[in-house]
Structure 1
Amino acid sequence: MLIRKLFKFESAHIVRGCSTRRCSHSIHGHSYKVELFLEAHALDNGQMIYDFGLLKSHVRDLIDAFDHAVALWSGDEPDYLSDMRKHSERWVLIPVSPSAEQFSRLFFRLVDAVLTLTDMANGEADVRLHSVIVHETETGYAQCFREDAHNPRMGHIDLNAIEFSSAITKDWHEPNLLELIKRGQRLSPLTKESV
């Protein structure tokens, strides 16, 4: 069985190397929608695959990190990266270009890591991330499956190469969340009451 949770954020980027000059040479923004699909073949104590409320902590923090932030590709021009980090309080540095395709892969890697590292506390069984859809516009989206998230032909997404500005991490439920993920440290589930 699959369940779906939708998140939304506003973000800016440049997608270098794409065929549309407006997108590859000018900072511009989108109203993104991110759909997470979780799957399991058993139900928890509440007869659910996974309580939607549990996604309102670590997972929401990671996706919301991109809201009103500029997404920066670490392979971009050093002067551009320096200027964006200097003039924007909210920025995210990622090891791949911030296209819808790469966003879907990036969110898959991050959310999958959170689910893998989170101790299940209500009888959840075999819950795993099935896919991630990132809508960049009303008419276009990219969908990532597990094999896409780890496909070297699409670029390597090293979680150690991701950096969030301090203006972003200070608002997280767990300000060291990314470091905990990078170290593979177990995460305590946040209850709906603590969110």
Structure 2
Amino acid sequence: MLIRKLFKFENAHLVRGCSTRRCSHSIHGHSYKVELLLEAHALDHGQMVYDFGLLKDGPRTLIDAFDHAVAIWSGDDPDYIAACQRFSERWILIPVSPSAEQFARLFFVLIDRLLNLTEMCNGEADVRLHSIIVHETETGYAQCFREDAINPRMGLITLDNIEFSQAIRNEWPDPKLFDKLKRGERTAHPNGV
């Protein structure tokens, strides 16, 4: 069985190397929608795949980090990177260009790691991230499956090559969340269920 949780955020980016000059040469923004699709073949004690309320903390925190921020490809021009970091306190440095496709892969890597490190406390069984869909516009989206997230032909994404600005981390309920994910620290459900 699949369940879906929808998140929204506003983000600015440049997509170097794309065919559309406006997108590749002018910083611009989108109203993104992100769909998390979780899969399980058993239900928890509440007869759910995974309580939607549990997705309001960790996953929402990571996705909301991109809201009103600029996503910067670490391979971009160093002067552009420095200017973005200087003039915007909310930025995320990522190892791939911030296209819808790469956002889908990036969110898959982040949320999959978070779910894998979360102690299941209410009888959840074999819950796993099925896919991530990132809507960049009303008519265009990218969907990432596990094999896409780890495909080296699409660019390597590891937690060690992602950087959230201090302003973003300071807003998190747990400012050390990302460091804990990188270290592989297990955590209980955020609401202590």
Q: TM-score, normalised by structure 1?
A: 0.97
The answer for the alignment partner of 2:5 in structure 1 is 5
In 2, the alpha carbon distance for the partners of 1:118 and 1:173 equals 16
CA 1:104 to 1:152, structure 2 compared with 1: closer, same or farther past 3 Å?
A: same
Shift of 1:188: 2.1
Q: Percent identity?
A: 73
- Contact kept? 1:100, 1:135, Cα under 8 Å: yes
The answer for the alignment partner of 1:42 in structure 2 is 42
Shift of 1:192: 8.1
The C-alpha deviation readout for 1:95-122, integer Å capped at 9, x for no partner, is 0000000000000000000000000111
- Contact kept? 1:54, 1:192, Cα under 8 Å: no
Counterpart of 2:137 in structure 1: which amino acid?
Answer: T
The answer to whether the aligner puts 1:191 opposite 2:191 as a matched pair is yes
Shift of 1:141: 0.2
Following superposition, which runs of at least 4 residues in structure 1 exceed 4 angstroms of deviation? none
Aligned pairs for 1:105-144 (under 5 A) are 105-144=105-144
The answer to whether the aligner puts 1:33 opposite 2:28 as a matched pair is no
The answer for the alignment partner of 2:100 in structure 1 is 100
* Unmatched runs of 5 consecutive residues or more in structure 1: none
3-state SS of paired residue (1:170): helix
3-state SS of paired residue (2:153): helix
The answer for the alignment partner of 1:52 in structure 2 is 52
In 2, the alpha carbon distance for the partners of 1:144 and 1:45 equals 29
The answer for the alignment partner of 1:162 in structure 2 is 162
3-state SS of paired residue (2:71): strand
- Contact kept? 2:103, 2:134, Cα under 8 Å: yes
Shift of 1:67: 0.2
Q: CA RMSD in A?
A: 1.0
Shift of 1:58: 0.8
The C-alpha deviation readout for 1:4-41, integer Å capped at 9, x for no partner, is 00000000000000010000000000000000000000
In 2, the alpha carbon distance for the partners of 1:21 and 1:31 equals 20
What is the number of equivalent residue pairs in this alignment? 193
In 2, the alpha carbon distance for the partners of 1:5 and 1:175 equals 24
CA 1:140 to 1:192, structure 2 compared with 1: closer, same or farther past 3 Å?
A: farther
In 1, the alpha carbon distance for the partners of 2:103 and 2:178 equals 17
- Contact kept? 2:109, 2:158, Cα under 8 Å: no
The C-alpha deviation readout for 1:20-65, integer Å capped at 9, x for no partner, is 0000000000000000000000000100000000001111000000
3-state SS of paired residue (2:31): strand
3-state SS of paired residue (1:174): coil
The answer for the alignment partner of 2:173 in structure 1 is 173
Counterpart of 2:44 in structure 1: which amino acid?
Answer: D
Counterpart of 2:170 in structure 1: which amino acid?
Answer: K
3-state SS of paired residue (1:60): helix
Q: TM-score, normalised by structure 2?
A: 0.98
Counterpart of 1:59 in structure 2: which amino acid?
Answer: P
The answer for the alignment partner of 1:18 in structure 2 is 18
Counterpart of 1:105 in structure 2: which amino acid?
Answer: R
Counterpart of 1:173 in structure 2: which amino acid?
Answer: P
